[in-house]
């Protein structure tokens, strides 16, 4: 059913259609609306049987999900940013135990400085946790990916994060086709766990494992993700059959057939990228787009196939590997290794900085002319950066960086304390 | 006809012999049908109080739940010595997740059981003092506050024994640990304000809180069974001596647990909804030295460079417990 609906509400409705049995909730912006909506559905018994647990921290949220999943209940939670970091120990544990928990990450920057706006630093920090990560481009895709995620997670008995851009998607009202319960039931079977705590068949889960078996356990997590590379396109195809629309899959290209310059990105920014590419196409530029939906597992072959015929590519990413450059770009470069393709990294939109068509227009043209630095920071205010660097050179006690920069940007009314 | 005189109490102890009791009054552990939930062959040290406490507690919980029990374990000695891969001592469904989340994992298990309508299956969470009073405290308090249907059992051996005897918030003042060495002006652990988790549990107003020791296993079984008859968040804090960490003889585990109770240093009581409902009275009050001297962790309080003022302070703490909980009968208290 078509609805004009907030992204978070749409995701909550999708989760409810997946018949979760245990939902753990802890508030953190920008995921809060999702669990609020689910909480109301459980309380009103619109969503039943389901236990909605208000926990005392994100660490507890994931821990409760670990317990409920291990006891055979379909388990869901949502988080973002600091919340994801606070639960990290349990995030790794859930994957290590092979528990098919589905978690929405409403992608948000990580402090300090504290910042509630969108970038991809949070879930990308969990790259190696063993969780799969799917990135939604639109709210429709966020809805669809959640439905696919439960099936994928439970098929492999591994957890999944469905990542949607905080505020940009979670708080955006747009048209979303919410499937019917019959449609979802026809696609997603009841949870049939591979392992379950049950007095009828007592097992020990989470025993200590030494060097003699640890590597095999870890390898199997990798093997599961390799299986997911096969399974994700299959599930997307089945999804299309059941729901009648393309959603999910590993990667998606746009106007890429004869493209000499390819732009690679994840998440909602793909919309702006496509609009910019449309304009450049009209001007005769041979430019196309590769959207990555599955960040983990990373589809090396599909990325390579999508890029191998271009001359150069730009990875536009909302994340930064401090001391190195791009996070996604490193994976993309690995995918095209040996091709001799020219690759550029553009770090953009950190902490919610707007990524405008004008800036992308300029960036893409410079890329086309191969005039970009290997790592570019889109719309970075160099004057402010240089001023702070100079301040630190001049003054041993130059004070807190963020506060100085706010002052230099004219956003602080107090006088600069540190010259 | 030969006649063996029946002694009601075994020599030198207050332990009641099982043979004198009717079958319905016998302990779970004395029965052939005990579940042996934590089976023999595990790797606990000789004289381990925790292994003993866990055996009695979990078997009692199994008996009370008709063997419909799931156990959640925090990281720690109990987890490590019971499940070195690929062995497991556990004869019931058992999960270990992390050091600090046993209470939350148990909440999750309980939620799953509830949603699936498996009301007959019960949940117990267990951890050491570090996993309970320190790193797992947030999750524990959350579980209490929500009144989740979980019995949480803390096996308190007063330090992080698994990692090599470091101080926890349950370590008593003056005790030597690897991080509170007996050097300097105030050797051993400091006299802080303490963190009394049974009292903090009571402050949550949960249905049941109890303390117990491995010196009185009948009392321990009784409390576990009583807790298992109830629903909601329940907490049992069991005092379990650790020969390795305490520097005590492995055959003194029971004796030390008894002395902890008899000196008043570890009050044994029950509470319901935040109110103390019963205490285990001290039978024969002992001076604190009797408890301290057999333990090398307190050796620096005695001998050549003795610290009688610290012993006095510990005695005062024990005496305060005795007053606060009314651990002595009136005539003994004033006699």
pLDDT digits (tens, 9 = 90+) for A128-139: 999 999 999 999
CA of A186 vs chain B CAs: smallest distance (Å): 21
Asked if residue A158 lies in contact with residue A128, where contact means CB atoms within 8 angstroms, the answer is no
Q: CA B176, CA A408: separation in Å to the nearest integer?
A: 54
pLDDT in tens, A139-162: 999 999 999 999 999 999 999 999
Q: CA B92, CA B94: separation in Å to the nearest integer?
A: 6
Asked if residue A277 lies in contact with residue A310, where contact means CB atoms within 8 angstroms, the answer is no
Q: CA A333, CA A304: separation in Å to the nearest integer?
A: 9
Q: Which fold has domain A2-243?
A: Rossmann fold (3.40.50)
CA of B322 vs chain A CAs: smallest distance (Å): 35
Q: CA B101, CA B137: separation in Å to the nearest integer?
A: 9
Asked if residue B127 lies in contact with residue B151, where contact means CB atoms within 8 angstroms, the answer is no
Question: Which residue has tokens 């106007």?
Answer: A255
Answer yes or no: is pLDDT of B297 > 90.
yes
Average pLDDT, chain A: 96
pLDDT in tens, A91-105: 999 999 999 999 999
Nearest beta carbon to residue A204 from set B80, B88, B117: B88
- Please state, for a pLDDT cut of 90, what percent of chain A lies above it: 97
pLDDT band at A413 (very low <50, low <70, confident <90, very high): low
Best residue in A47, A60, A90, A218 to probe B by mutation, most B CBs within 10 Å? A60
Nearest beta carbon to residue B112 from set A73, A97, A213: A73
pLDDT band at A201 (very low <50, low <70, confident <90, very high): very high
pLDDT score for B13: 58
Nearest beta carbon to residue A68 from set B100, B111, B146: B111
Name the region of B47 (left: φ>0; alpha: ψ -120 to 50; beta: rest): left
Asked if A204 and B101 come within 8 Å (Cβ–Cβ), the reply is no
Long-range CB contacts (< 8 A, 24+ apart) of B21-27? B27/B217, B27/B218, B27/B221
Burial of A360 (0-12, 13-18, 19+ CB in 10 A): buried
Asked if A202 and B94 come within 8 Å (Cβ–Cβ), the reply is yes
Answer yes or no: is pLDDT of B4 > 70.
no
Answer yes or no: is pLDDT of B232 > 70.
yes
- Rounded to an integer, the average pLDDT of B94-121 is 98
- Rounded to an integer, the average pLDDT of A314-321 is 98
Asked if residue A358 lies in contact with residue A348, where contact means CB atoms within 8 angstroms, the answer is no
Asked if residue B179 lies in contact with residue B122, where contact means CB atoms within 8 angstroms, the answer is no
Q: Which one-letter DSSP state was computed for residue A325?
A: B
**Closest listed residue to residue B279, CA positions, set B267, B287, B290, B289:** B267
Which tokens in the block code for residue B155? Answer: 């096996």
Asked if A72 and B68 come within 8 Å (Cβ–Cβ), the reply is no
Answer yes or no: is pLDDT of B6 > 80.
no
Nearest beta carbon to residue B97 from set A24, A93, A208: A93
pLDDT score for A419: 54
Break chain A into its structural domains and give their ranges.
2-243, 253-377, 381-419
Q: What are the E-state strand segments in B29-147?
A: 69-73, 94-96, 122-128
Beta bridge partners of B209: B235, B271
SS3 A356: coil
Asked if B109 and A65 come within 8 Å (Cβ–Cβ), the reply is no
Largest CA distance in chain B: 67
pLDDT in tens, A19-30: 999 999 999 999
Name the pairing type of β-strands A251-254 and A287-292.
Answer: antiparallel
Which tokens in the block code for residue B180? Answer: 């509170």
Q: CA B305, CA B263: separation in Å to the nearest integer?
A: 24
pLDDT in tens, B82-101: 998 788 999 999 999 999 99
Asked if A197 and B139 come within 8 Å (Cβ–Cβ), the reply is no
- Please state, for a pLDDT cut of 90, what percent of chain B lies above it: 87
CA of A23 vs chain B CAs: smallest distance (Å): 9
Helix ranges, A125-213 (H) = 139-156, 181-187
Count of residues making up chain B:
335
Domain A253-377 part of CATH 3.40.50.920: yes
CA-based radius of gyration for chain A = 22
pLDDT score for B32: 85
pLDDT score for B119: 95
pLDDT score for B26: 83
Fold match flag (A2-243 vs A253-377): yes
Beta bridge partners of A176: A3
Q: CA B131, CA B170: separation in Å to the nearest integer?
A: 11
Q: CA B187, CA A167: separation in Å to the nearest integer?
A: 55
Asked if B70 and A57 come within 8 Å (Cβ–Cβ), the reply is no
Asked if residue B74 lies in contact with residue A32, where contact means CB atoms within 8 angstroms, the answer is no
Answer yes or no: is pLDDT of B18 > 60.
no
Q: CA B326, CA B142: separation in Å to the nearest integer?
A: 30
pLDDT band at B25 (very low <50, low <70, confident <90, very high): confident
pLDDT band at A180 (very low <50, low <70, confident <90, very high): very high
Asked if A70 and B68 come within 8 Å (Cβ–Cβ), the reply is no
Question: Which residues in chain A are contacts of B138 at CB distance < 8 A?
Answer: 56-57, 59-60
Q: What are the E-state strand segments in B33-104?
A: 69-73, 94-96
pLDDT band at B12 (very low <50, low <70, confident <90, very high): low
Asked if A205 and B139 come within 8 Å (Cβ–Cβ), the reply is no
Answer yes or no: is pLDDT of B1 > 80.
no
- Rounded to an integer, the average pLDDT of A198-203 is 96
pLDDT in tens, A77-95: 999 999 999 999 999 999 9
Burial of A328 (0-12, 13-18, 19+ CB in 10 A): buried
Domains recognised in chain B with CATH numbers: 27-334 (3.40.50.970)
pLDDT in tens, B212-227: 999 999 999 999 999 9
pLDDT in tens, A273-292: 999 999 999 999 999 999 99
- Rounded to an integer, the average pLDDT of A191-195 is 97
Q: CA A7, CA A25: separation in Å to the nearest integer?
A: 18
Q: What are the E-state strand segments in A250-388?
A: 251-254, 261-265, 287-292, 294-296, 312-317, 342-347, 375-377
Best residue in B39, B104, B141 to probe A by mutation, most A CBs within 10 Å? B104
Question: Which residues in chain B are contacts of A49 at CB distance < 8 A?
Answer: 115-117
CA-nearest residue to B92 within chain A is A202
Answer yes or no: is pLDDT of B335 > 90.
no
Q: Which residues of A make CB contacts under 8 Å with B?
A: 21-22, 24, 49-51, 53-57, 59-60, 63-73, 75, 89-90, 93, 97, 197-199, 201-210, 212-213
Nearest beta carbon to residue B141 from set A56, A75, A93: A56
- Complex ipTM value: 0.96
Asked if A60 and B146 come within 8 Å (Cβ–Cβ), the reply is no
Asked if residue B318 lies in contact with residue B262, where contact means CB atoms within 8 angstroms, the answer is no
- Lowest mean pLDDT segment, chosen from A24-28, A115-119, A409-413: A409-413
pLDDT score for B22: 73
Q: CA A392, CA B217: separation in Å to the nearest integer?
A: 66
């Amino acid at each position: 059913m078509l609805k004009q609906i907030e992204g978070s509400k749409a995701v909550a409705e999708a989760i409810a259609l997946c018949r979760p049995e245990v939902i753990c909730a802890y508030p953190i912006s920008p995921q809060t609306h999702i669990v609020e909506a689910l909480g109301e559905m459980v309380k009103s018994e619109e969503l039943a049987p389901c236990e909605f647990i208000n926990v005392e921290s994100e660490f507890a949220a994931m821990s409760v999900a670990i317990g409920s999943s291990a006891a055979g209940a379909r388990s869901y939670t949502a988080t973002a940013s600091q919340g994801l970091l606070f639960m990290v120990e349990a995030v790794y544990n859930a994957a290590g135990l092979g528990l098919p928990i589905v978690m929405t990450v409403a992608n948000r920057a990580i402090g300090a400085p504290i910042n509630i706006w969108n970038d991809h630093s949070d879930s990308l920090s969990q790259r190696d946790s063993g969780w799969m990560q799917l990135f939604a481009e639109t709210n429709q895709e966020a809805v669809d990916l959640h439905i696919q995620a439960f099936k994928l997670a439970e098929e492999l008995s591994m957890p999944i994060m469905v990542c949607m851009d905080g505020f940009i998607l979670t708080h955006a009202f747009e048209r979303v086709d919410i499937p019917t319960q019959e449609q979802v039931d026809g696609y997603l079977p009841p949870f049939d766990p591979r392992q379950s705590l049950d007095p009828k068949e007592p097992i020990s889960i989470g025993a200590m494992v030494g060097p003699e078996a640890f590597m095999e356990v870890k390898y199997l997590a990798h093997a599961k993700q390799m299986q997911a590379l096969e399974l994700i396109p299959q599930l997307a195809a089945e999804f299309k059959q059941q729901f009648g629309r393309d959603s999910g899959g590993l990667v998606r290209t746009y106007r890429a057939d004869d493209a000499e310059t390819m732009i690679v990105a994840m998440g909602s920014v793909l919309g702006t990228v496509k609009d910019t590419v449309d304009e450049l196409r009209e001007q005769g530029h041979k430019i196309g787009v590769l959207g990555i939906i599955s960040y983990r597992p990373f589809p090396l072959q599909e990325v390579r196939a999508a890029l191998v015929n271009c001359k150069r590519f730009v990875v536009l990413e909302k994340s930064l590997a401090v001391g190195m450059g791009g996070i996604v770009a490193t994976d993309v470069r690995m995918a095209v290794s040996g091709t001799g393709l020219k690759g550029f990294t553009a770090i953009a939109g950190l902490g919610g900085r707007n990524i405008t068509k004008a800036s992308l227009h300029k960036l893409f043209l410079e890329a086309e002319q191969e005039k970009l630095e290997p790592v570019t920071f889109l719309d970075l205010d160099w004057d402010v950066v240089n001023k702070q660097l100079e301040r630190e050179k001049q003054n041993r006690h130059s004070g807190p960086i963020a506060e100085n920069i706010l002052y230099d940007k004219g956003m602080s009314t107090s006088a600069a304390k540190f010259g | 006809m030969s006649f063996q005189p029946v002694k009601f109490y075994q020599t030198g102890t207050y332990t009641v012999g099982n043979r004198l009791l009717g079958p319905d009054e016998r302990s779970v552990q004395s029965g052939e049908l005990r579940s042996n939930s934590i089976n023999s062959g595990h790797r606990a040290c000789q004289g381990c109080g925790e292994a003993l406490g866990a055996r009695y507690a979990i078997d009692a919980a199994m008996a009370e739940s008709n063997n419909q029990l799931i156990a959640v374990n925090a990281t720690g000695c109990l987890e490590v010595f019971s499940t070195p891969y690929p062995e497991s001592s556990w004869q019931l469904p058992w999960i270990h997740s992390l050091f600090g989340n046993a209470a939350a994992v148990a909440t999750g298990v309980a939620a799953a059981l509830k949603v699936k309508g498996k009301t007959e299956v019960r949940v117990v969470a267990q951890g050491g003092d570090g996993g309970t009073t320190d790193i797992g405290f947030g999750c524990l308090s959350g579980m209490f506050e929500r009144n989740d249907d979980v019995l949480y059992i803390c096996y308190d051996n007063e330090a992080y024994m698994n990692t090599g005897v470091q101080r926890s918030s349950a370590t008593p003042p003056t005790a030597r640990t690897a991080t509170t060495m007996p050097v300097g002006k105030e050797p051993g652990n400091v006299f802080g304000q303490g963190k009394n988790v049974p009292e903090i549990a009571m402050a949550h107003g949960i249905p049941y809180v109890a303390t117990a020791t491995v010196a009185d296993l009948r009392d321990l079984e009784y409390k576990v069974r009583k807790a298992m008859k109830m629903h909601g968040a329940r907490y049992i804090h069991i005092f379990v001596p650790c020969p390795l960490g305490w520097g005590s003889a492995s055959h003194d585990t029971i004796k030390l647990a008894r002395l902890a109770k008899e000196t008043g240093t570890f009050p044994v009581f029950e509470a319901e909804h935040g109110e103390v409902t019963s205490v285990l009275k001290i039978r024969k009050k002992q001076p604190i030295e009797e408890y301290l001297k057999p333990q090398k962790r307190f050796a620096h309080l005695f001998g050549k460079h003795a610290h009688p003022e610290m012993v006095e302070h510990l005695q005062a703490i024990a005496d305060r417990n005795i007053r606060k909980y009314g651990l002595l009968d009136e005539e003994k208290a004033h006699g």
